[in-house]
Amino acid sequence: MRYVKLPKENIYDFLERLKDYGKLYAPVKISEKFYDFREVDDVKKIEFHYNRTIMPPKKFFFLPREKMFEFSISKAEYKETIENVEPFVVFGLHACDIFALKIMDTIYLDEFPDKYYKVRREKGIIIGISCMPDEYCFCNLRETDFADDGFDLFLHELPDGYLVRVGTPIGHRIVDKSIKLFEEVTSQDICDFREFEKKREESFKYHEDWGSLRYLLELEMEHPMWDEQSELCLACGNCNTTCPTCRCYEVQDIPNLDGDTGVRIRRWDSCQLRSHGLVAGNHNFRPTKRSRFMNRYLCKNSYNEKLGLSYCVGCGRCTYFCPAGISFVKNLRTIMGLEDKSCPPEISEEIPKRGFAYGGAKQ
């Protein structure tokens, strides 16, 4: 990997130059408590120290709502409606969000690549930045706290600038075109980088092994936590909207007023809504709030085989933005017996764990 240093006094020049590659999006403060990726004109407004944006960067590639087709109804014809996507730059992603995009890629760029996602992914330049965790962060437990790839450039904060890792040919080009802004990395920079990483590692709230989580979640499907916590859930879907790896979408055909044309649109969906598992004849595969609540926990903690990671990257958004104050981490730690050490928990009756399956079951 190639490493260069961006001295502090050159950062705004560098950001200004990024606009040569397309529209520049970066984290900005949008209210007292919230940050979001927005198009920036004045690079001085960019926030270098934020913990999480309200909307995850998936929004640049998998649009909250987008038109897929236009129909001519009487002719039974349709036209693809993929707009001409111009190159753009997203500056300031944290490692967890970069991992989240890699997870999105495993879904949207698999053997049936989703064209709408792909054209944007190909045009998006990704520039990462280092971060200091707050009490909501647990990317260290998800092993998504340090991105090895998935970025064009990655900036690590130093006392007097940034140590920059160059990840792709585009990254090299960006550096080379502004080479006057950069310097060679010095021995002192390496010490500072090491110091930063050490401090960061120590700042995480939890240092523990979650290796058994997947199995315990499955074995503890009757744990009282599920009833207690799903009872508090408002089913608003904020956890899905803000999650950088939630990728469920709903599709709708909408006829126009002329009656002969129409559009097919898709928009983000949430598994916490009743409609997610509803089929014709009013049958619902996830009829209760508890079953939908549990679904998110199981989905996010299932195993992405291509990356060897869970679908949750530990960004903390679903807890931070939950209006009911439900803590994802606390609930997972409860299941792992890390919150309350008594085992088994108080149970009213023993519920069969289904290991006997069907034939030969001791009924």
Ligand X SMILES: Cc1cc2nc3c(=O)[nH]c(=O)nc-3n(C[C@H](O)[C@H](O)[C@H](O)COP(=O)(O)OP(=O)(O)OC[C@H]3O[C@@H](n4cnc5c(N)ncnc54)[C@H](O)[C@@H]3O)c2cc1C
Residues lying near another protein in the complex (CB under 8 A): 68-69, 71-73, 75-78, 80, 82, 107-108, 110, 112-115, 213-215, 217-218, 221, 246-255, 261-262, 264, 266, 269, 271, 276-281, 285, 297-299, 301-303, 354, 357-361
Helical H segments across the chain, by residue range: 11-18, 95-108, 115-123, 139-142, 169-177, 187-203, 213-219, 224-232, 238-242, 289-300, 317-320, 328-335
Q: How far is the CB of 284 from ligand X (least distance, A)?
A: 10
Number of residues that bind ligand X (CB under 6 A): 2
In the region spanning residues 278 to 337, those forming contacts with ligand X, defined by CB under 6 A, are: 279-280
Q: How far is the CB of 275 from ligand X (least distance, A)?
A: 9
Among 120, 165, 286, 296, binds ligand SF4 (CB under 6 A): 296
Binding partner at 87 among ligand SF4, another protein, ligand X, none, C-beta below 5 to 8 Å by kind: none
- Residue 182: helix, strand or coil by DSSP? coil
Binding partner at 120 among another protein, ligand SF4, ligand X, none, C-beta below 5 to 8 Å by kind: none
Q: How far is the CB of 253 from ligand X (least distance, A)?
A: 9
Q: Nearest to ligand SF4 by Cβ — which residue?
A: 271
261: left (phi over 0), alpha (psi -120 to 50) or beta: beta
Among 15, 341, 35, CA closest to 174:
15
- Residue 243: helix, strand or coil by DSSP? coil
Binding partner at 362 among another protein, ligand SF4, ligand X, none, C-beta below 5 to 8 Å by kind: none
Beta bridge partners of 246: none
Helix axes 328-335, 289-300, angle to 10 degrees: 80
Q: Are 90 and 25 in contact (CB under 8 A)?
A: yes
Q: How far is the CB of 248 from ligand X (least distance, A)?
A: 14
| DSSP per-residue codes, 317-349 | HHHHT-TT---HHHHHHHHTTSS---SSPP-SS
> In the complex with ligand X, which residue's Cβ is closer, 1 or 279?
279
Binding mask 235-274 for ligand X (x = CB under 6 A): ----------------------------------------
Per CB under 6 A, 246 contacts ligand SF4: yes
In this structure, the strands spanning 35-39 and 23-29 are antiparallel
Would you tell me which residues interact with ligand X (CB under 6 A)?
279-280
